[in-house]
Amino acid sequence: MKLILLVGLRASGKTTFMDIAKLYGISVYEMSYFFFKEMRDKGIEITQDNIRRFQVEERKRRGNDVFARIAWQSISLDNPPIAVVSGIRSMDEVIFFSKKGETLIVEIRSDDKVRYERVKQRNRPTDPKTFDEFVAREKADIAVGLHDVIRSADITIENNGSVDEFERKVKRFISFIL
């Protein structure tokens, strides 16, 4: 199985990448889905404070690759030839997945100001509301090892232009790996 490990800071374009991958018949898995499912299954309300606390506590208690292991249960059942796993946060998750299949780490990179404008436009309930909060959340993501994963990326796709331009880049990449 080929595993495309998708990494990028908040609002860099990971969801758009996954949407395009689906058009090519590639299975996609979002790590946050499994994370939030664990919270709901344990009866924990999804708030920013609870998210931060749960993430730290679960990783301490069950290991830094805990959410990768949980996601793998679904991925392995589906057993797709190629899967995109988005939202990788630590090298422990990378190591876990590298033992399960051929991995390629793809970073989606966008400038901070571009990403903050996207966050304001998409207005998701869990997104930061101010630039200071945006910066604070970035620091929290980095604290779990996200920058180590970004530095280890095999390929980087820049996403500072239009949606059409980014979509063309992603389609070109996917065509290349198929």
pLDDT, one tens digit per residue, over 70-110 is 999 999 999 999 999 999 999 999 999 999 999 999 999 99
Residue 106's pLDDT is 98
The rounded mean pLDDT for the chain is: 93
Residue 56's pLDDT is 87
Residue 139's pLDDT is 81
Residue 25's pLDDT is 97
Residue 88's pLDDT is 93
Residue 144's pLDDT is 67
Residue 93's pLDDT is 96
107-125 pLDDT tens trace = 999 998 999 999 888 877 7
147-166 pLDDT tens trace = 999 999 999 999 999 999 99
| Average pLDDT score over residue span 40-51 | 91
pLDDT band at 168 (very low <50, low <70, confident <90, very high): very high
List the domains of the chain with CATH numbers. 2-177 (3.40.50.300)
Task: Please identify which residue in the block is written with the tokens 């919270």.
Answer: 39
Q: How far apart are CA 85 and CA 126, in angstroms?
A: 20
pLDDT band at 173 (very low <50, low <70, confident <90, very high): very high
Helix (H) or strand (E) holding 2: strand 2-7
pTM equals 0.90
Q: Are 39 and 53 in contact (CB under 8 A)?
A: no
Task: Please identify which residue in the block is written with the tokens 């990449």.
Answer: 173
Angle at 112 between CA 51 and CA 156, to 5 degrees: 95
Question: pLDDT exceeding 90 applies to what percent of the chain?
Answer: 76
| Average pLDDT score over residue span 38-46 | 94
Q: How far apart are CA 76 and CA 89, in angstroms?
A: 20
